[in-house]
Amino acid sequence: MSFSRSKRTQPGLVLFALAVGGFAIGTTEFATMSLLPYFSVGLGIDAPTAGHVISAYALGVVVGAPILAVMAARHPRWQVLVVLMGLFALANGLSALAPTYEWMLVFRFLSGVPHGAYFGVASLMAVSVSPPGKRVQAVSRVMLGLTVATIIGVPMANAIGQWIGWRWGFAIVALLAMTTVLLVALHAPRDGGNPYATPLKELDALRNRRVWMMLAIGAIGFGGMFSVYSYLASTLLEVTGVGGEMIPVVLAVFGLGMTFGLTVGSWAADKALGPATGGTILWTIGSLALYPFAAGHLWSIMIVVFMIGCSGALGPMLQTRLMDVAGEAQTLAAALNHSAFNTANALGPWLAGLAIAAGYGWTSTGWVGCGLAIAGLVLWLLSLLLDRASPHQTVQQAL
């Protein structure tokens, strides 16, 4: 379903504005982990307790995505994005001012609430201003802001946090969010919204088996990447035997892999979405299976970490497929994708942590991740069978 577009809309500027929002979100999501030692001291709590702050953000994403998506479905997308980024800026600004641990939990939860809805609505807008043959590439441009954040934004926020205080690490994110508000207000197309959208129509997505299948692939299959990423620093120190100064370098290599994967993978997906999705999952399985063997040497683990980073290409593929199968529930389905990713962000590290605690070693995270990716492949194959079993169900290309 298409809406009226401004004649002055410049797709390049629109995608840049949306990517800046992704950069802000990616910076706060990953930088909070690196700032944990500093704000735990500042708030007078131990590190394990401070970890609950990260969980609070993820919970905000999972809860906020469907609620805000349903509420925003009939409103003009540019207005929704401005409001979401405004709320995101406010919550991060309050995080920078949090006086106690309890308030920090509240503010980080609120910071996560707009996350999924922003990416969902931004993906729909990106597709609406792009040619039909470049839909996945349009979605990947929005995601590119998040991956660039892992290369530039996270080290920047961490450095600022170390130099002038951890609170400024959150304040800079608030400034980035306000920049996004300005850019979206200036460059986003003035669509008229969808007057036919209703909460009930959006909730229809929850009765769609294809939607649930795509969400399951994201929640389980994507967990493999997070199972390795969450314990990568510890593996580098304990198994590879490098100094702490090399950790940011390897993390940046991971970010470069994600950027490369998004660029190449989205191009391939626009040619053939189904085969590209299956191929990306197979790539993920192979990369994670190599990880335990590569962990002993810096040169080999850097290569494999780059390969694992490339599997991030799966994100926009699943996002695009979700929008295709969601029917009239475009906004909710697109937003739920990020709830699924945050479920993966919790599931992967939890299962990997169990393997480590059981005595299987730091490299066991690769095998755990490989198992999750294989489960994702099985779900993808089942989705193909579902498509063949229900050929009468139409698939709508999202606009």
What is the dihedral sign for C-alpha 237, 241, 247, 250? negative
What domains are there in the chain, each with its CATH number? 7-197 (1.20.1250.20), 198-390 (1.20.1250.20)
Tokens of 95: 């995080």
Residue 152 has pLDDT above 80, yes or no: yes
pLDDT value at residue 394:
46
3: left (phi over 0), alpha (psi -120 to 50) or beta: beta
Rounded to two decimals, what is the model's pTM? Answer: 0.79
Query: If you write DSSP's letter for every residue of 260-291 in order, what string do you get?
Result: HHHHHHHHHHHH-HHHHHHHHHHHHHHHHHHH
Tokens of 207: 């009765």
179 burial via Cβ count (<10 Å: 0-12, 13-18, 19+): middle
What pLDDT band is residue 59 in, cutting at 50, 70 and 90?
confident
Residue 162 has pLDDT above 80, yes or no: no
CA atoms within 13 A on the CB side of 327: 15
pLDDT value at residue 83:
95
- For residue 395, CA distances in Å to 10, 211, 263, 266, 274 come to 28, 11, 25, 20, 13
pLDDT value at residue 47:
62
pLDDT value at residue 248:
77
- Quote the Cα angle for 287-289-294, to 5°: 80
Residue 40 has pLDDT above 90, yes or no: no
Alpha carbons 374 and 353: distance in angstroms, whole number: 19
Alpha carbons 218 and 315: distance in angstroms, whole number: 8
- For residue 120, CA distances in Å to 173, 267, 339, 391 come to 20, 20, 10, 27
Q: Which of 5-14, 45-54, 108-117, 174-183 has the lowest mean pLDDT?
A: 5-14
Query: If you write DSSP's letter for every residue of 192-259 in order, what string do you get?
Result: ---TT--HHHHHGGGG-HHHHHHHHIIIIITHHHHHHHTTHHHHIIIII---GGGHHHHHHHHHHHHH
pLDDT value at residue 192:
64
Condensed to tens digits (0 to 9), the pLDDT of residues 304-343 reads: 999 999 998 898 888 888 877 777 677 777 778 878 887 8
